[in-house]
A and B are shown apart, each in its own frame.
Chain A
Amino acid sequence: MENQKIGCYICTGCGIGDLLDIKLLEDMATKESRIPVVRTHAFLCGEEGLTTIRHDMQNEAVNTVVIAACSPRVHVETFRQLEAPLLDRVNLREQVIWVQHLKEEDDKDVFEEDRQMAAEDYLRMGCAKVKKMDPPEPFDDPGLSKTIMVVGGGVSGLTAAKEAADTGYDVVLVEKDAELGGRVAQMLKVSPVKPPYDQLEQPPTAALIAAVEGHDKIKIYKKATIKETTGAPGLFDVKIEYGAGEYSTGEDSTGEDSTGEDYSTGEDSTGEDSTGEDSTGEDSTGENSERIGAIVVATGYTLYDETKLTHLGHGTSPDVITAWEFEQMAKAGNIVRKSDGQPAKRVAFSLCAGSRDVQHLEYCSGACCTYSMKQALYVTEQYEDASTFLIYQEIRTPGQMEDFYRKVQNEGGVFIKGDINKVASGSNGGLTVDINDKLLRTPESLDVDLLVLATGMMPNIDTTDPNQETDLSASDANSVLNLQYRQGPSLPLLKWGFPDSHYICFPYETRRTGIHAAGPVRRPMGISSSMTDATGAALKAIQTVESIGRGAAVHPRVGDLSYPSFRVDGCTQCKRCTEECPFGAINEDDKSNPLFNPTRCRRCGTCMGACPQKIISFSNYSVDMISTMFKECEIPEEDEEKPRILIFACENDAYPALDMIGHNRGILTPYIRVVPLRCMGSMNLVWVADAMSAGYDGVLLMGCRHGDDYQCHFVRGSALAETRLNKVAETLDRLQLESERVKMIEVNIMDSDILPDKINAFVDDLEAFGPNPFKEF
């Protein structure tokens, strides 16, 4: 940073002043780190402390603030008030005095000397760090759009479109069919979506369609497909091909392409006038291009293929039908045996038909129990002397559906826990279902007129392998969005084919920034949950367009204004960054140079860790910055018997876990020096080599759990770090060092109780190898 003037503020509160020699720290900062303004305060986070800093910023032209006090994870807002161009924190409290403290039973302060050394090292690192930082300049583009595109016009898509438009955002709704409403519109009734949650209700789609079609902020494309999606969040250009005459807006188009012409209102959108005046597309071509800010994917589900369910009797008799067939039968108002048209008064429902079954769908769809109960009520409503049987594994009625379960029981629905062993045609024309009844613990034989198979849901999403290389010019027929991303046209999928990123921690996030999944395409769910989900995804999409409008990152580094820059003249076209980016942010130009899309970026730094040429860096986070930091630490001479272990800790989970050891006043070995990383994915192997040649005895990497049940906040960062580490043995061999000196462990945010032992075990391992021979140099 030009004209940088650093102010270093050491807080003596919370016991820091009692356990550290503050005078020595001040001298070190002034003389060794050459910081022009060094001050001590007893209560920096208080108003008086802040005023001291503000005073220096105004009168001494301090523009870079180093605060040596508590963890950077606390008092974030307090110090943000200073609005300093650059600010960094040195963690003297949680990771020095609170983990190397005086125990009551000790008569001697065993950590006295080591603690002071640690504090000095951390202060050195903090001062060195800010010298390598520049204030980030947010990305801006005049073409940034805040329009939200919703893909899918079912109950989830309609809800998302309505919620986003009601909040004031322009919405483009794309539906592949000629009519809106999706599956729910084709249902007779739906399970309750509002209190008291025990009555069948009319499908909510009619009201939603009316609201959406009449909304002046919503543009609708019907019979539409997305030919391609180019660009990045805020700057997506989406080519939509739609059926002739199937394009409508509300009464007054407010989109950027508005020409003030009369668009049809939703109510009479079927007329030929609806597309003629559009400035970007002609009716005859039926193709339009939209500039989109964020996308909500609400493409819904496909039901599991019932023909695979022969073990439940599918195919043995026409009276074994799917729940969807039964729904249509009930909607036609005539529940009868399909075989002979006799009234079907005894109806059995097979729940979990093909679900929670390793041969079929391994997961629970969470909605089949509820919709079967609903259908049982259809039978009771049509026939007074109806008998309904729900054959289940476990009843799962998430959300508010427990009251509905009671309602169905009260109406006489009989619930039988058991497995269907055999289905055969009965003597009187119906079916005989042999059940292994787990409640009576006996085999029972049930005579029914119909057996309804409640099949589970599969996401309607791309089936292509997201990791395979794809020709960018080819449009993939299987892909919903046809993303023009270097990593492929599809959304990366989780286990079982759902395009989520981590559905507990980061709901509605896919692994493509600005593209949010909602409803059963994200995870199987019922109508009520889908509507809640769609609202959540709409809010996420709004958050995306707003953050990107300010040049800021979205989840999980919300508000971060920095983004990587690429010194392309140093690039060797190795493609590691374009391949490894967990979010597909980097495309390639025709010479295989990286083409970076700032608004797709989540700022994890995985590209920076991947680059062997060190050409990728952030203004406030770079390979050089981290290297300089840990090289600043004093490495004691071999005969002092004070080993030094460098820890790279993921700042999302591992760093807070280390802080928590301090909060619990645990003890950590004083031989470690912790450097927080944005993500283990940003770990560049150069650091390991540098640390070894600087004389560190070992390097410990603390990343999140990876694999199927990963906890990495950037999806693949910790997994990539582990892969890179496998290559480090070679480097160490070249230096003639034991490769076990570098180790990676998985750390969970809850691991503070076992973490000291894990670190100590590593220190013990290192002792066996003896000191790093490079200390000499």
Chain B
Amino acid sequence: MAYDLSFAKDVYENAEEGHWIKMCMQCGVCAGSCPLGPHWEFSPRQLFQMIRAGKAEEVLKSESMWMCVSCYHCMVRCPRGLPITHIVHGLARFAVEKKRADKDQVTRRFAKILWENMERGGRIGEMALTTKLYMVNGIPDGVKKGMEMKDQAMSMLKSGRLKMDPLHLSRIRGHAGFKAMLKKAREIEQKKRES
């Protein structure tokens, strides 16, 4: 049934900043402001109205919310003050939780690699990160890509912009504290979800 509000209510209550979605007045300023606008299947405005219309599968399986580059143009311009960037990321996360998001979605894979890398040392290990990203489509492809970029890499090494740490062994100061923080955050998140 069209405009069955049960999916909308689920999103309002369980997606990050989801309760804001009902305040959208469909002006389309977000869609017009988005630098990636032409590449989205659905603009934020359309996603929000689809949620109200109860189009759960189309929303959750959509790639659109994975296209956000967090430039915050929409959020700055929204006349209703919706935190659109946060809502869109929240929807991506919500799709993951609902197990509808495509595992091979490139943004999703990139986000996962980036996070794991960052969590390991407490900061980005550029050399390990690039290596891993180059290798996503297999080792030969990765080597080819790496060779193409070697001149840039050498000059960055020389000027100290790239650290020689291929195994990503460096750790930030107070790494144990950082780990404890993340653990606590996960506990809070878990508790919130259970309540």
Contacts and interface: CB of A to CB of B under 8 A. Distances in A.
Interface string A408-426: 0110101111000000000
Contact of A389 (B3, B25, B49): B3
Interface in A439-464: 439-440, 444-447
A395 interface: yes
A417 B50 CA distance: 13
Contacts of B3: 387, 389, 414, 416, 444, 446
Interface string A372-399: 0000000000000001010000010000
Contacts of A440: 46, 49-50, 53, 55
Given A387-B5, A445-B2, A417 B53 contact: no
15 contacts: A387-B3, A387-B5, A405-B25, A409-B22, A412-B22, A414-B8, A414-B22, A415-B26, A417-B26, A437-B53, A439-B46, A440-B53, A444-B3, A444-B53, A447-B1
B68 to A, nearest CB: 21
A410 B22 contact: yes
B167 interface: no
A331 interface: no
- In this complex, which of B45, B49, B50, B80 has the most chain A Cβ atoms within 10 angstroms of its Cβ? B49
Contact of B25 (A415, A437, A445, A447): A415
B89 interface: no
A417 to B, nearest CB: 7
B interface, size bucket: 10 to 19
A758 interface: no
B180 interface: no
Nearest to A417: B26
Interface string B1-44: 11101001000000000000011011000000000000000000
Contacts of B25: 395, 405, 409, 415
B2 A414 contact: no
B89 to A, nearest CB: 22
B49 to A, nearest CB: 5
Nearest to A408: B22
A416 B26 CA distance: 10
Interface of A: 387, 389, 395, 405-406, 409-410, 412, 414-417, 437, 439-440, 444-447
A738 B52 CA distance: 71
B5 to A, nearest CB: 5
B23 to A, nearest CB: 5
Contacts of B1: 445, 447
Nearest to A438: B26
A446 B23 CA distance: 21
Contacts of B5: 387, 412, 414
B23 A409 contact: yes
A446 B8 CA distance: 15
A207 B56 CA distance: 49
A358 B93 CA distance: 48
- In this complex, which of B8, B50, B52, B55 has the most chain A Cβ atoms within 10 angstroms of its Cβ? B52
A366 to B, nearest CB: 18
B54 to A, nearest CB: 10
A430 to B, nearest CB: 11
Given A406-B80, A410-B23, A414-B52, 15 more contacts: A387-B5, A406-B23, A409-B25, A414-B5, A414-B8, A414-B22, A415-B26, A416-B3, A437-B53, A439-B26, A440-B46, A440-B53, A444-B3, A446-B3, A447-B1
B7 to A, nearest CB: 12
B1 to A, nearest CB: 6
Contacts of A406: 23, 80
Contacts of B50: 440
- In this complex, which of B2, B23, B80 has the most chain A Cβ atoms within 10 angstroms of its Cβ? B2
Given A387-B5, A414-B5, A439 B49 contact: yes
Contacts of B80: 406
A417 B27 CA distance: 11
Nearest to A406: B23
Contacts of A416: 3
Nearest to B2: A444
A405 B25 CA distance: 10
A444 B5 CA distance: 14
Contacts of B22: 409-410, 412, 414
A410 B25 CA distance: 11
B26 to A, nearest CB: 6
Contacts of A444: 2-3, 53
A414 B1 CA distance: 15
Interface string B152-185: 0000000000000000000000000000000000
A415 B23 CA distance: 10
Contacts of A415: 25-26
A559 B53 CA distance: 61
A447 B22 CA distance: 20
Contacts of B23: 406, 409-410
Nearest to B20: A410
A439 B26 CA distance: 8
A445 B26 CA distance: 20
Nearest to A443: B2
Closest 3 CB pairs of A and B: A444-B2, A439-B49, A387-B5
Nearest to A411: B22
Contacts of A414: 3, 5, 8, 22, 52
A442 to B, nearest CB: 9
Interface in B41-91: 45-46, 49-50, 52-53, 55, 80
B3 to A, nearest CB: 5
Contacts of A409: 22-23, 25
A611 B53 CA distance: 69
Contacts of A417: 26
Contacts of B45: 439
B26 A446 contact: no
Given A406-B23, A417-B26, A446 B46 contact: no
A671 to B, nearest CB: 54
A439 B45 CA distance: 9
Contacts of B46: 439-440
Contacts of B8: 414
- In this complex, which of B26, B55, B80 has the most chain A Cβ atoms within 10 angstroms of its Cβ? B26
A432 B2 CA distance: 10
A414 B45 CA distance: 14
B24 to A, nearest CB: 8
Nearest to A395: B25
A358 B45 CA distance: 31
B79 to A, nearest CB: 10
Contacts of A387: 3, 5
- In this complex, which of A410, A415, A439, A445 has the most chain B Cβ atoms within 10 angstroms of its Cβ? A439
A372 to B, nearest CB: 15
B52 A446 contact: no
Contacts of A437: 53
Nearest to B50: A440
Contacts of A395: 25
A415 B22 CA distance: 9
A191 to B, nearest CB: 18
B108 to A, nearest CB: 26
A409 B24 CA distance: 8
A409 to B, nearest CB: 5
